[in-house]
Amino acid sequence: MTSPHGTTRQAVLPTLLGLGPRAERRRRALPPGILRLPTIGIDIGGTKVVAGVVDGEGKVLEKLRADTPDKNKSAKVVEDVIVDLVLRLADRHDVHAVGVGAAGWVDAERSRVLFAPHLNWRNEPLQEALSERLRFPVVVENDANAAAWAEWRFGAGRGEDHMVMLTLGTGIGGAVVRDGYVDRGKYGLAGEFGHMQVVPGGHRCPCGNRGCWEQYSSGNALVRDARELVAEESPVVEPLLALAGGAVEGITGPLVTEAARAGDPVAIELLYEVGTWLGVGIANLAAALDPGRFVIGGGVSEAGDLLLGPAREAFRRTLTGRGFRPEAVVVHAALGNEAGLVGAADLARQVARRFRTIKRHRVERGAEA
C-alpha cells in the first residue's frame, strides 16, 4: 500500500499528525461509517491487563483479560501480553486501531511511557514498539486521561466543555478535558493532582514527598485509617474487623464501603473524612482551573453519596469566592471501571479515521498514476 511517490508521503503527513484546518475539514467530511469503526482499548493496571473491542457509541463488544506481568519482567514481556490480547480480539472483530491506557507518565507526543509505577517501563517507546508489531495505528495515553475522555464522550461529562475528572483508587488519578480535547500540559504530565501537598509534614507518599492529597483522599487512605484504628485496639472498629473475618489484612476499601452502606458508624465516618478531603482538594482545583463539572470515578466512588455528600459540603465550605461565583457541580462517574478502556479505544478511533483517510488517498493517488 505504500506509494512509490515521495510527494504522497509529504501530502499525507499533516493529515497523519492531525495538523491544519484542511486536515480537520477532511476528517469531519469523512463518511459517518468511519466514525463508528470499532477499535480496541487496553487498560494496563497494577494487577491485570484488560483489552476490549469498543464500538462508536462507547459500548464494549468483547473483553479479554490477562495478569499484569511482574514488575521485574522486561518491557517486551508486557508487550507480548498486549499483542496476544489484541490479535485474539482482531481475529473475531473488524478493528482499525488500538489505544493503550497505562498507569504512568506518558509524554506529550503520546509515544513514550516515561515512568510506570507498576511496570518496568522507563522512557519506553511503547507506541513505536506496538505499532511495529501490530501493524495497527496505536495511541498510548495516561489511564486517567483515557478515563476522563470516556466520561466526556459517553458518560457523566457529556455536554460539558470544561471538566475535571478525579479517579479515586489506590491514589488519585486526575485529568482535564477542555473544549473537546484532553489538556495534557506542555510535557504530557498535567493532572497529577494527587501529589499536591495538602498537609505539610503529613503522611509519607510513595512519590517521596509528604502530605500529598492522595494520602488523605483515596482507597489507600481509607484502608490505612481503618487499620490504624485496629492497631490502636479501638472498640469502635470491632464490627468492621469482624466483617473482615477478624484479620486486619481483610479490611479493604470495598469492605469499608459495604460496612458503611450497612450503617456501621465507623465506616461512615472513615468515608466522611476521605470525602471531606476530596471536597477540600476540589475547591483548590476550582480555584486554579474553574471547571464547570468535576466527575468522580474509581473504586472509592462506588460509595456514592457516602463519599460525595461530604465532598460537596467541604467543597462549598472551602471554595474561594463562594456565594459570589458560579459553582462547579460534583457528579459521580457513569462508566465504572471500563472508562479507561473505552477512552483509550475512542482516542485510537481518531487515529483510525486518519489511518483510513491516508489509505484512501494512497489508493486514489495510486489509481491516478
Cβ nearer to Zn ion, comparing 105 with 154: 105
Q: In the numeric block, which cell numbers belong to residue 138?
A: 496505536
Please report, as ranges, the residues that interact with Zn ion according to CB under 5 A: 195, 205, 207, 209, 212
Cβ nearer to Zn ion, comparing 202 with 292: 202
Cβ nearer to Zn ion, comparing 204 with 359: 204
Kindly state the smallest distance separating residue 138's Cβ from Zn ion, in Å: 30
Kindly state the smallest distance separating residue 197's Cβ from Zn ion, in Å: 8
Find the angle CA(141)-CA(299)-CA(36) to the nearest 5 degrees.
45
Kindly state the smallest distance separating residue 37's Cβ from Zn ion, in Å: 39
* Residue for grid cell 512509490: 4
On the CB side of 204, how many CA atoms lie within 13 Å of its CA? 2
Kindly state the smallest distance separating residue 88's Cβ from Zn ion, in Å: 37
Paired residues of 166 in beta bridges: 174, 296
Kindly state the smallest distance separating residue 211's Cβ from Zn ion, in Å: 8
Cβ nearer to Zn ion, comparing 65 with 224: 224
Torsion region of 334: left, alpha or beta (phi above 0 gives left; psi -120 to 50 gives alpha): alpha
| 3-state SS class at 198 | coil
Cβ nearer to Zn ion, comparing 127 with 220: 220
Listed in order, strand segments (DSSP E) in 68-223 are: 98-102, 105-106, 113-115, 122-124, 138-142, 162-168, 172-178, 181-182
Kindly state the smallest distance separating residue 124's Cβ from Zn ion, in Å: 22
Q: How far is CA 307 from the centre of its chain?
A: 20
Cβ nearer to Zn ion, comparing 206 with 336: 206
CB 339 within 8 A of CB 155: yes
